[in-house]
Amino acid sequence: MKIAITGTNGFLGQQLVHLLLSKGYEVIAIAKGEDRISNESHPRYKYYPVDITEEFELHDVLCIEEPDILIHAAAMTQVDECELSQDKCWDTNVQGTVHAVVNAELYCKRLIYVSTDFVFDGEKGNYSETDKTRPISYYGETKVQAESFVEDCEIPWAIVRTCLVYGNALSGTRGNIISWVKQNLVQGNPIKVVSDQVRTPTYVEDLAKGILLIIEKNAEGIYHISGKDVLTPFEMAIRTADYFGLDKQLIEKVDASVFVQPAKRPPKTGFDISKARRELEYEPVEFEEGLKKMFESVSGER
């Protein structure tokens, strides 16, 4: 089976490439700029530099390759940048998804779209797939709009919503809350971490495996794929400090009002993953196990 993935230079995209190649799939990697994975010699790997905001660039690749599945993971995800650069955000997250949907309908058999917990307002928490979306940031609004185009797709589709992804930062990707906390505490830097936001943090390999399960089970519809632990960022930071034996006195508990940010964050998201457990047999790791896998599996450190 041939699977095309947009956004393969990103955090999730690189994980998906490695996982799908290890499972024997042929992978068509699509991203902006030079290939950060550098798998040119792999017999089942091809890379195409593509700007998804350009109308015909994605079309030209899918026309040539005709993959069985398109996983659309490319997006502009920095929430404040989306708020400040709304035209760019719309072009990438909405128009780029329109291009993905239209061309998937022409050349693919299935479409999988990666979305976010920021489609919700964060008043309720523990969201299920049937809860009504109500974004409070421009980023969230564009993801809701993109989801609506996917739902109108004329081929079988799945939407994967996820929440606060963490794990090993791969080539050229940004760090995440865990790597940020660890780096600062190792250097002895005091940090401020919010305690009035609630999430279900997701280990990136679990997210990739959840998408693989959707592929293997031919699943359709919306799925919430996240971790099982309900934590605030402050609790995540404390657990990270405990795991590494670092000084948690350097971590100051604050609320979100301390930070001046252009975009609003939903106070309580986090997912009910019972549908994914029931229909996909998805089971994420505990948060501490994610920490262990994140650091020990790669570098042997603790």
Q: Per-residue pLDDT tens for 22-81?
A: 999 999 999 999 998 877 679 999 999 999 999 899 999 999 999 999 999 999 999 999
Output the pLDDT for position 295.
Answer: 80
CATH number of 2-168+200-228+269-284: 3.40.50.720
Q: Quick one: average pLDDT of 286-302?
A: 75
298 has pLDDT over 50? no
191 has pLDDT over 60? yes
**Using 50, 70 and 90 to split pLDDT, how confident is the model at 173?**
low
Does the reported pTM lie above 0.85? yes
Output the pLDDT for position 136.
Answer: 98
Output the pLDDT for position 34.
Answer: 93
Amino acid at 86: Q
Residue with tokens 């799945």, as numbered in its chain: 158
Output the pLDDT for position 118.
Answer: 98
CA angle in degrees (0–180, nearest 5) for 124-127-133: 80
pLDDT digits (tens, 9 = 90+) for 125-141: 999 999 999 999 999 99
Output the pLDDT for position 224.
Answer: 98
Do 30 and 85 meet the contact criterion of CB atoms below 8 Å apart? no
The domain segmentation of the chain, as residue ranges, is 2-168+200-228+269-284
Do 208 and 296 meet the contact criterion of CB atoms below 8 Å apart? no
13 has pLDDT over 60? yes
- CA dihedral over 254, 135, 159, 26, signed as positive or negative: negative
More confident residue, 259 or 159: 159
Least confident of 93-97, 166-170, 196-200: 166-170
CA dihedral (147, 17, 211, 59) in degrees, to 10, reads 30
Do 191 and 184 meet the contact criterion of CB atoms below 8 Å apart? yes
**Using 50, 70 and 90 to split pLDDT, how confident is the model at 2?**
very high
Burial category of 2 from C-beta neighbours within 10 Å (exposed 0-12, middle 13-18, buried 19 and up): middle
**Using 50, 70 and 90 to split pLDDT, how confident is the model at 172?**
low
103 has pLDDT over 60? yes
